[in-house]
Amino acid sequence: MIESAAPAKLTRNEGLKQASPTLAGTIAQTLTNPALDRFSDDDYEFLKFHGIYQQDDRDKRKVAKEYIFMVRGRLPGGVVSPDHYLVFDQLASTYGNNTLRITSRQGFQFHGVVKSGLGPLMKGINEALATTLAACGDVNRNVMAPPTPAMDSVVEHVQADARRVSDALLPQTPAYHQIWVEGQTLNLDDAAAKDFVDPLYGKVYLPRKFKAAFAIPPLNDVDVFTNCLGFVAIIERGELLGYNLLVGGGLGMSHGNIQTYPRLADVIGFLPPKHLIKVAQAVLTVHRDFGDRTNRKHARLKYVLEEKGVAWFRGELRERLGFDLEPARPFEFTRQGDLFGWHQQADGRHFLGLYVEAGRVKDTETIRLKSALRQITTEYRLEIRLTPSQNLLLINVPSSAREGINAILAENGITLNHQASLIRQTSMACPSMPTCGLGLAESERALPDILNRVEQELAAAGIPDEEIIVRITGCPNGCARSMMSEIGFVGRAPNKYQLYLGGNQSSTRLNRLYKESVKLEDIDAELRTLFTRFAKERTSAERFGDFCNRVVLPELEASHSVAPAANPA
C-alpha cells in the first residue's frame, strides 16, 4: 500500500485568520486594559490588517523595551483633503512624535504612538472620515496612482479609477469599525464572528500582501512593474481608451534565500475601463486561491506567475472573467520622479512640488515644514497629494495665492529656488532604525550622510551635476524600492549594505547585486572607482545606471560574480 504524502503544514498566520476571520483577535480587550503596554503576539498579526504595527524603540533596548506603534493611513492615490491633513497634523502632535511620514505607497504614517494614545488616534482618523483599514496585512494595500495634475483630464480619471479599485478590494470585516469607532469588544465565541466570511477574500484572506498601482506613460512615477497588480493607462488624443494589465511584480526577498527574489510584473493584456473592477478582483482571487499558504516567504503573487507562467495565468483569468483580454497595446515609459516648484495646471490654476527629505514632514531648527503646511492648509484650504517618491504637492492653487504661500514657506526656512540637489530629489529611504523591527542597518537616518558621500565623489570625478537615482532600505524587503534604483543600498547588518547597480530612469529594469557587503565607511571608495570609470567611459548623455548595465555588470557576469538580469520589462 502506497501512503500519500501528508499535506503541507500551513503557516501560523493561516491558523490565526482561520480562528478569527473578523480579524478582531483580542485587540479590544487589550486596548482597554491599562496594565498592558503591548498586545499579544497573535494580536500583533491582526493589528496589521487594521493599519497598525506594534514596534519598540530599538535605541532604548539596552535599558528596557519601550513599546510604540506605527499607524498607517490608507489614502488611495495619495490624495489628502485639507480637512484630513489638518486632522492628521493635529493627531501626530497629540499622540505621535510630532511628525508625519510619507510612505513610498502614497500614505501617511504616524510614528511613536504609545498604547494609551492608540485608541484616540484611531478614533480621530475615522471621525475625520479617513481610515487605516487594509493599509497593512494580508489584503490589498493602498492603491497608488499618479498624483501630478496634468494638462488634460486623464490624471483625474485615473485617480478616480484608483479609488474605485481601492473600494472594490477593501475587506468587509465589521471588527475594524466596532473596535476603533464604537469601542466594542467582539465575542470571539459568537457564531457570527467565527463564521464570518469576507465576500471577496474568503475566511482566511490572502496568503500575503497584495499591491496595486496605476501609471500613465511616459511617466512611471509609481514604479508600476513592482506591483502585484498594475494598470497602465492607454491614451489616444487625450482620451483614456483603457488599461494594459500587469501582474506579478514584487521586490521583497530574504538574505541567503535564493528562492526569494525581486521580480518585475508581466504584461497580460488590455481591458476597457468597464472591466476594471472585475479584472482587479479576478487577479486578487488568483492570489487568494494559488498563493503559497505554507511558506510566507514564498507567498506573494509574483511566485505564482514565475512558476506557473503567463499562459497559465491568462487561462485562469479567462475562467474567472468569462472572456479573454485583448492583446496589450503599445506603451513606453521614459522616466520616473517628481516635479518641484511651481507649475500650471490645465485649468489655469497651479500646483507646487515640495521636496521632503526621506518623506519626513517635521519641524527642525532651520526648516519648519510641518508648521508651514499647517498654516498654508488652514489659510488656503488646498488639497495635498503625496507622491510615490515621498514628496508632496499642493494642488489647485489660484494665482492670487502664490505670493502668500511663498511668504509662508520663506518664513519657515523653505526656499523654492533650490529645494534640493538632483541626487536628493530622486532619493528614497525607508524608516528602518529605530522603529522598524525588520531593520538590519540604518536607512532614513543614514540617508543624508550617504547622499553627501555620493555628491562628494561625483564632484571629485568631475561630474557634480549628474542625476543618479539612489535608494536605501534597511533590510531586503524593499519598502523604498531600492531594487529599482541606479544605486541601491540594502541593509545587510549594522553599518553594512549590499550594493546594487544598474536600474534605469524609466523604472522598467531591476538593478543587480554588485557587492555582497560594503561597510558604511567603505562606500566612498566603492563609489570613487565606479564614478571615475563612468566619467571616462560613458557614451554621450549615458546615465549611470545604463553605464553599469552596459559595462560594469556584464564584466561581473563574465567572472560569474553576479546573476544575469531578471525578467526585464
pLDDT digits (tens, 9 = 90+) for 440-460: 999 999 999 999 999 999 999
Through-space distance between the first and last CA atoms of the chain, rounded to whole angstroms? 50
Q: Which of 185, 81, 198 shows the shortest CA–CA distance to 129?
A: 81
The pLDDT value recorded for residue 234 is 98
Which of 475, 509, 543, 548 is flagged as catalytic? 475
**DSSP 3-state assignment of 466?**
coil
Active site residue 72: yes
Active site residue 548: no
Active site residue 436: yes
**DSSP 3-state assignment of 486?**
coil
- What is the pLDDT tens value at each position of the chain, 569 positions in all? 445 556 789 999 999 999 999 999 999 999 999 999 999 999 999 999 999 999 999 999 989 999 999 999 999 999 999 999 999 999 999 999 999 999 999 999 999 999 999 999 999 999 999 999 999 999 999 999 999 986 568 999 999 999 999 999 999 999 999 999 988 765 655 666 788 999 999 999 999 999 999 999 999 999 999 999 999 999 999 899 999 999 999 999 999 999 999 999 999 999 999 999 999 999 999 999 999 999 999 999 999 999 999 999 999 999 999 999 999 999 999 999 999 999 999 889 999 999 999 999 999 999 999 999 999 999 999 999 999 999 999 999 999 999 999 999 999 999 998 999 999 999 999 999 999 999 999 999 999 999 999 999 999 999 999 999 999 999 999 999 999 999 999 999 999 999 999 999 999 999 999 999 999 999 999 999 999 999 999 999 999 999 999 999 999 999 876 555 544 44
Residue identified by cell 478569527 is: 20
Active site residue 430: yes
The pLDDT value recorded for residue 492 is 97
Q: Which of 106, 104, 128, 137 shows the shortest CA–CA distance to 23?
A: 137
- What would the grid cell of residue 110 be? 504616524
The pLDDT value recorded for residue 567 is 46
Compute how many other C-beta atoms are within 10 angstroms of the C-beta atom of residue 161: 23
Active site residue 228: no
506/333 Cα distance (integer angstroms): 6
Do the beta carbons of residue 234 and residue 240 sit within 8 Å? Answer: yes
pTM of the model: 0.96
The pLDDT value recorded for residue 149 is 85
Active site residue 194: no
CA 88 to each of CA 78, 101, 127, 221: distance values in angstroms, whole numbers, following the listed order = 14, 11, 11, 25
Spell out the domains of the chain, with CATH numbers in brackets. 9-140+175-184 (3.30.70.3340), 142-172+206-336 (3.30.413.10), 341-419 (3.90.480.10), 424-558 (3.30.413.10)
Which of 430, 492, 509, 512 is flagged as catalytic? 430
Which of 74, 141, 302, 360 is flagged as catalytic? 141
- What would the grid cell of residue 26 be? 483580542
Which of 17, 208, 209, 368 is flagged as catalytic? 209
Q: Rounded to the nearest 5°, which phi and psi values hold at 526? A: -60, -45
Which of 136, 228, 479, 548 is flagged as catalytic? 479
6/531 Cα distance (integer angstroms): 55
Which of 211, 360, 368, 424 is flagged as catalytic? 211
Burial of 164 (0-12, 13-18, 19+ CB in 10 A): middle
Do the beta carbons of residue 496 and residue 441 sit within 8 Å? Answer: yes
Active site residue 211: yes
